Amino acid sequence: MRKNKIRVNDKVMVMTGKDRGKVGTVKSVLYKDENIVVDQVNMVKRHVKGNPYTGKSGGIQDKEAPMHISNVALVCDSCTKPTRIGFTYTEDGRKLRFCKKCHEMLD
């Protein structure tokens, strides 16, 4: 199990694959598979069967597919660049993330 370097609502940039260069926010993190779901990135088409009792319409729908966490990099708010993440401890014992390029705290 990896450290929780990327969390929900973080802004990330895709570094590899068909969506390389796109920036989006993390919708969910799947810790067991080390995958994340990024908003409007890695879109796939799914054929969905309609259900008249619940009001769902059938057809072809677009949805986000999970991608591996190693294919994205966190975008720092202060330097606006994709960066690696480091951890540091404060005087009161809290563990915080920081940007390795500009050494600005992320949390």
Q: How much helix, strand and coil, in percent to the nearest 5, is found in the chain?
A: 5, 45, 50
Q: What is the pTM of this model?
A: 0.85
Instruction: Confirm whether 72 is domain-assigned.
Output: yes
Mean pLDDT across the stretch 86-101? 94
Q: What is the CATH number of the domain that holds 15?
A: 2.30.30.30
Q: How long a stretch of residues is the chain?
A: 107
Instruction: Confirm whether 37 is domain-assigned.
Output: yes
Q: What is the pLDDT of residue 93?
A: 92
Mean pLDDT across the stretch 1-19? 89
Residue 70 clears pLDDT 70, i.e. is over it: yes
Residue 1 clears pLDDT 80, i.e. is over it: no
Q: What is the pLDDT of residue 100?
A: 94
Q: Domain range spanning residue 26? A: 1-44+63-82
Render the burial of 51-76: b for 16+ CB within 10 Å, e for the rest.
eeeeeeeeeeeeebebbebebbbbbb
